[in-house]
């Protein structure tokens, strides 16, 4: 399958499938790189996380730079606290700017956001965990979820799908998902503690999303686990696109918590449903 993330500017990759083919709305979505900012080592240069001990003024400047390149001011962005949970919050224009310049003012206690309002940029920070981008063009709704191993085994992907189906009356056939750049199985070694939790959410007959190493460790494929959860909940495989980018292998492009021993910055995943051409942003 063709790589869904394409970089046309140094600050971020765009999700190509979400950038074309939407007649009623225009979706902008993607993930930032580590270039184009003002942060110093070890956060150089486009660190966008306010919770990693970087200079907050540098981070806010970096966020403004990304927002400018994306084309939507930072005042329209919404940030989640991200606590490795499966909690998801529906947000509106009233939530715009929450967490944009201060970590403490973000949407607390959640790892997923969604909205059916235009010009509300949903954003989440990543440095190896799996970004999940959701869209339904028929209903002008978008969502984003942060899925580390804890969020994955808590099935945050399933919860987003269920919220849309049950609360927003969206047919599961109309939901599209893009699985973003993350640490891949080649670099993600875990122990029995993690695999025991993974096994609890792998159904009988499904392939195990990991391989066993001779030293008793495992190579875990979190992207595969999330894809299996999505398919089991009715998302068609044709409506799931998956990045081949490994944040650990491609540390020249991305921040990697594992590769850089925890001393690094954060990328931002983002998605927004823009207004139709000819309408003005509020």
Dist CA 264 CA 254 (whole Å)? 10
Per-residue pLDDT tens digits for 171-181: 999 999 999 99
Q: What residue segments make up the domains of the chain, in order of their start?
A: 5-181+241-274
Mean pLDDT of 105-123: 98
Which residue has tokens 């970096």? 62
Which residue has tokens 């950038």? 19
Dist CA 173 CA 237 (whole Å)? 10
Mean pLDDT of 238-246: 98
Name the class of domain 5-181+241-274. Answer: alpha beta
Residues 37, 62 contacting (CB under 8 angstroms): yes
Per-residue pLDDT tens digits for 54-86: 999 999 999 999 999 999 999 999 999 999 999
If we measure between CA atoms, which residue out of 271, 277, 238, 240 comes closest to residue 23?
277
Which residue has tokens 């909690």? 87
pLDDT at 18: 86
The share of the chain scoring above pLDDT 70, in percent, equals 95
Q: pTM of the full predicted structure? A: 0.95
Q: Per-residue pLDDT for 22 more than 90?
A: no
Mean pLDDT of 121-139: 96
Mean pLDDT of 185-201: 98
Query: Could you give phi then psi for residue 55, rounded to 5 degrees?
Result: -65, 120
């Amino acid at each position: 399958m063709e790589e869904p993330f394409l970089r046309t500017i140094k600050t971020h990759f765009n999700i190509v499938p979400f950038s074309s083919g939407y007649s009623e709305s225009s979706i902008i979505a993607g993930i930032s790189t580590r270039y184009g900012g003002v942060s110093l080592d070890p956060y150089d240069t486009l660190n966008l996380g306010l919770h990693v001990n970087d200079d907050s003024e540098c981070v806010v400047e970096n966020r403004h730079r990304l927002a400018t390149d994306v084309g939507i001011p930072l005042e329209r962005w919404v940030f989640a606290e991200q606590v490795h949970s499966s909690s998801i919050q529906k947000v509106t224009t009233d939530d715009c700017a929450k967490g944009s310049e201060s970590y403490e003012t973000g949407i607390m206690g959640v790892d997923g956001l969604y909205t059916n309002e235009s010009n509300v940029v949903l954003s989440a920070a990543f440095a190896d965990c799996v970004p999940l981008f959701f869209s339904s063009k028929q209903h002008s709704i978008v969502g984003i979820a942060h899925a580390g191993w804890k969020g994955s085994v808590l099935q945050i992907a399933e919860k987003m799908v269920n919220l849309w189906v049950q609360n927003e009356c969206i047919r599961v056939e109309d939901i599209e998902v893009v699985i973003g750049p993350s640490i891949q199985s080649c670099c993600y070694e875990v122990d029995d503690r993690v695999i025991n939790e993974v096994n609890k959410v792998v159904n009988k007959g499904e392939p195990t999303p990991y391989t066993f190493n001779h030293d008793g460790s495992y190579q875990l494929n979190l992207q595969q686990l999330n894809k299996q959860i999505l398919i089991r909940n009715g998302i068609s495989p044709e409506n799931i696109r998956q990045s081949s980018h490994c944040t650990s292998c491609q540390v020249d492009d991305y921040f990697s918590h594992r590769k850089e021993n925890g001393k690094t910055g954060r990328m931002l995943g983002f998605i927004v449903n823009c207004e139709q051409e000819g309408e003005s942003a509020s």
